[in-house]
Structure 1
Amino acid sequence: MELAVLLVNALAAESVHGRPVTPPQTGGERLAAIHAGLAAAGRPPSGLTAADADRLAEVAAELRPLYGAGDRLPEAAERLNDLLARHGAVPTLYGDPGKPLQLAFHRPGATLVDAWAADMGTALAMVIGVGQGARLGACQAASCSLVFFDTTRNASRRFCDLSCQNRAKASAYRARRRT
């Protein structure tokens, strides 16, 4: 889930915290955005190429409609099923000798892009499949298109982070004061 949110925000966001942004347009820019997101999340850099980053931008654009989908979730899930099939999502146990096996959702020998797409798609499908699709949130602040996975106890998160929440509340307060 963390990787899906990271990629959608890094490669498909058109506004961030009230400011319009242009998503990265070239493979090099996309690769830099992915590596910056991974570094911010404390994850090691990937073995991706610029061409891989271009393909992941397409995956991120396909995953974006799932966040904040609400009543449109069934239609978005149909596209998710297509993504899972295209990238060969299949449960697989793998591991090194002497170490515990790990569960992944991509076929052995899959490309890094197919592996990431299959794993992210499966994570989203599992969340939706257990009735928790509402936890796939999109920021409700004006001019912010960032997404998040809501881990709050009562699934009530509405904003990507505190800065958007503060901005939205201040704006609402000013609007009330004007009237």
Structure 2
Amino acid sequence: MLFAHDTEAGLIAATALVNTDSRDGEGLPDVDALGDFLVTHGWTGRHERTEAELRAVRALRPRLRRLWYADVDEIVAIVNELLRESHALPQLVRHDDEPYHLHAVPRDAPLATRMAVEAAMAVADLVRGGELARLGTCADADCDSVLVDLSKNRSRRFCDAGCGNRAAVTAYRARKAARRS
């Protein structure tokens, strides 16, 4: 593990949340889809299951997406703004059989607030560690997804939407066709 568990989980969840808003369509079309997203990414705590909560989570996505495209100073400004708006106060907590980790807002804070703070705290760790290059975009020209490269050798180039497999198949077919020619 390169980062603390909560940092990795925050980065993975933030990446997945940003990628629910893509040119391929709405990844959070309704409250049930948001509930599924929360289960998939291990979110606990308050979940109102309302349209207002869904709208707040959707509204967070463009702000988080900026983290993948901004320079370090803008990233720091975004992170600080998210933490300030949320009145973040980091504290060590343990729950749900997880070891001690940082939470900066209470578990009963609104979902979008908790998501914003978790993402901000995780990106803050990247900034402090000089690891912002781990935030990237999919190498597939037809994909607008973002990614977080948690590999040891920093070699990840494609998102989780199958773009890497498609690129490998395309390259294989091109090599095979070239041999036939």
Global fold match (TM > 0.5) = yes
Q: Does 1:4 align with 2:14?
A: yes
Question: Residue type of the partner of 1:142?
Answer: A
Per the alignment, in what secondary structure is the counterpart of residue 53 of structure 1?
Answer: helix
Could you say if the C-alpha distance between residues 66 and 174 of structure 1 is closer, same or farther in structure 2, counting changes exceeding 3 Å?
farther
Query: Structure 2 counterpart of 1:13, which letter?
Result: S
In structure 1, give the amino acid aligned to 2:75: A
Deviation at 1:91, TM superposition (A): 0.5
Answer yes or no: is 1:36 the counterpart of 2:39. no
In structure 1, distance between residues paired with 2:45 and 2:103: 19
Distance 1:55 1:166, change over 3 A: same
- The verdict on how the C-alpha distance between 1:109 and 1:37 changes in structure 2, with shifts beyond 3 A counting, is closer
Superposition pairs for residues 60-75 of structure 1, below 5 Å? Answer: 60-67=61-68, 69=69, 72-75=71-74
Shift of 1:6: 2.2
Tell me the amino acid that sits aligned with residue 23 of structure 1: E
Q: CA deviation at 1:104?
A: 0.7
CA displacement at 1:127 relative to structure 2: 1.6
Q: Give SS of 1:126's match.
A: helix
Aligned length: 164
Structure 2 contact 103–118 (Cα < 8 Å) conserved:
yes
What is the CA distance between 1:123 and its match in structure 2?
Answer: 1.0
Residue 23 of structure 1, aligned match among 21, 26, 34: 26
- 1:13 matched to 2:22? The reply is yes
Query: What is the alpha-carbon distance in structure 2 between the residues aligned to residue 119 and residue 164 of structure 1?
Result: 27
Correspondence 1:18-167 to 2 at 5 A: 21-23=24-26, 29-41=29-41, 47-48=47-48, 49-67=50-68, 69=69, 72-94=71-93, 102-106=101-105, 110-161=109-160, 163-167=162-166
TM-score normalised per structure 1: 0.71
Classify 1:104/1:45 alpha carbon distance in 2 versus 1 (closer, same or farther; 3 Å).
Answer: closer
TM-score normalised over the length of structure 2: 0.71
Counterpart CA distance in 2 for 1:30 and 1:136 is 28
TM-superposed deviation, 1:163: 2.6
Q: In 1, distance between residues paired with 2:160 and 2:17?
A: 17
1:141 deviates by: 0.6
Deviation at 1:170, TM superposition (A): 4.8
> What is the CA distance between 1:172 and its match in structure 2?
6.0
Separation in structure 1 between the aligned mates of residue 43 and residue 104 of structure 2, nearest angstrom:
20
Say if 1:86 and 1:44 are closer, same or farther in 2 by CA, change over 3 A: closer
Gaps of 5+ in 2: 1-9
Deviation at residue 43 of structure 1 after TM alignment:
6.2
Q: Where does the alignment leave 5 or more consecutive residues of structure 1 unmatched?
A: 15-20
Identify if the C-alpha distance between structure 1 residues 161 and 119 changes in structure 2 by more than 3 Å, giving closer, same or farther.
closer
CA RMSD of aligned residues (A): 3.4
